[in-house]
Structure 1
Amino acid sequence: MIAEITTIPLQLDTPAAGELFLLGRLVFGATLAFMGLNHFMDVDTMAGYAEFKGLPAPRFSVIASGTLLVLGGLGVAAGVYPVVAAGGLAVFLLVSAVTMHDFWSVDDPEEKQNEMTSFLKNLYGAGAALALLAVGGTAWPYAVGAGLF
């Protein structure tokens, strides 16, 4: 006999669970927001890399992705529109992993390793964003609480 799978709403009623959830959101969101700020601090270099990788409109892509990272990161950290913030970050991280860090097409071993590391960072970041997206429709502790759902 197969056990029935049920789902229950997110419950953070164990000791310090709400605080740990907040800390995780702050670390994750602030890190991505900082990465987004880096897009604006060195637009020309990042646009050159985006052009090298074959992205259309590289300068616009750098500015748009920087904006997404800043707003998405702050949204997750503060609990503002968490579904939009986490969803946007998940999509960005998955797309940029494949388009910007295509280690499988690199011949130089050192460059290949750097691209693989960046690819994997984007992948596990996307996993965290997807987990936050999954609970984005529930009430988050210590959150501003503005959202669509």
Structure 2
Amino acid sequence: MIAEFATIPLQFDTPLSGELFLIGRLLFGGVLAFMGLNHFLDVDTMAGYAEFKGLPAPRFSVIASGVLLVSGGLGVALGLFPVLAAGGLAVFLLVSAVTMHDFWSVEDPEGRQSELTSFLKNIYGAGAALALLAIGGTSWPYAVGIGLF
């Protein structure tokens, strides 16, 4: 016999749960928005690395990914279009983990470790973004509250 699971509507009714959720959103979204800002502050270096990794249109890729990180990060932090923000971040983090941090193809042990660390950061960030995406259609405490759903 297979157990049945019932879903319970998301509730933020325990003490400080809304405030902790806000702090988590601010930390997660804020760090990603800051990372996106860095894309604009160092376009040439990042474009060179993107070109080294074989990305097409490396300069455009750096700028587009910066826009995605800033808008997605701010969207999560503010609760503004949370489904689009979290979904966009999840896709970006998964794709960039595989394309930019391919540790399996690096022969130098130090370089491999560095790429593995970056790969894992992107993967756990994608996990957090997917969790936020899953609850993106619910009402978030302390959020702007503008969204598609």
The answer, yes or no, to whether TM exceeds 0.5 is yes
Cα distance in structure 2, aligned partners of 1:100 and 1:12:
37
- Aligned twin of 1:110: 110
Cα distance in structure 1, aligned partners of 2:76 and 2:2:
37
State the SS of the aligned residue for 2:72. Answer: helix
Q: Offset of 1:87 from its aligned partner?
A: 0.1
- Aligned twin of 2:20: 20
For residues 54-74 of structure 1, what are the alpha-carbon distances to aligned partners after superposition, in whole Å with 9 as ceiling and x for unaligned? Answer: 000000000000000000000
Q: Offset of 1:3 from its aligned partner?
A: 3.0
For residues 1-54 of structure 1, what are the alpha-carbon distances to aligned partners after superposition, in whole Å with 9 as ceiling and x for unaligned? Answer: 443201111111100000000000000000000000000000000000000000
TM-score, length-normalised on structure 1? Answer: 0.99
- Aligned twin of 2:55: 55
State the SS of the aligned residue for 2:104. Answer: helix
For residues 76-132 of structure 1, what are the alpha-carbon distances to aligned partners after superposition, in whole Å with 9 as ceiling and x for unaligned? Answer: 000000000000000000000000000000000000000000000000000000000
* Superposed counterparts of 1:57-72, under 5 Å: 57-72=57-72
Cα distance in structure 2, aligned partners of 1:43 and 1:68:
15
Runs of 4+ in 1 over 3 A off after TM superposition: none
Unaligned segments of structure 2, at least 5 residues: none
Unaligned segments of structure 1, at least 5 residues: none
Whether 1:144 and 2:125 are equivalent positions in the alignment is: no
Cα distance in structure 1, aligned partners of 2:78 and 2:61:
25
Letter in 2 for 1:11: Q
Cα distance in structure 2, aligned partners of 1:142 and 1:47:
37
Cα distance in structure 2, aligned partners of 1:69 and 1:110:
27
Whether 1:43 and 2:8 are equivalent positions in the alignment is: no
Cα distance in structure 2, aligned partners of 1:14 and 1:3:
28
Q: CA RMSD, aligned part only?
A: 0.6
Letter in 2 for 1:66: G
State the SS of the aligned residue for 2:30. Answer: helix
Letter in 2 for 1:23: I
Letter in 2 for 1:49: Y
State the SS of the aligned residue for 2:15. Answer: coil
Whether 1:98 and 2:98 are equivalent positions in the alignment is: yes
Percent of aligned positions with the same letter in both sequences? 83
State the SS of the aligned residue for 1:74. Answer: helix
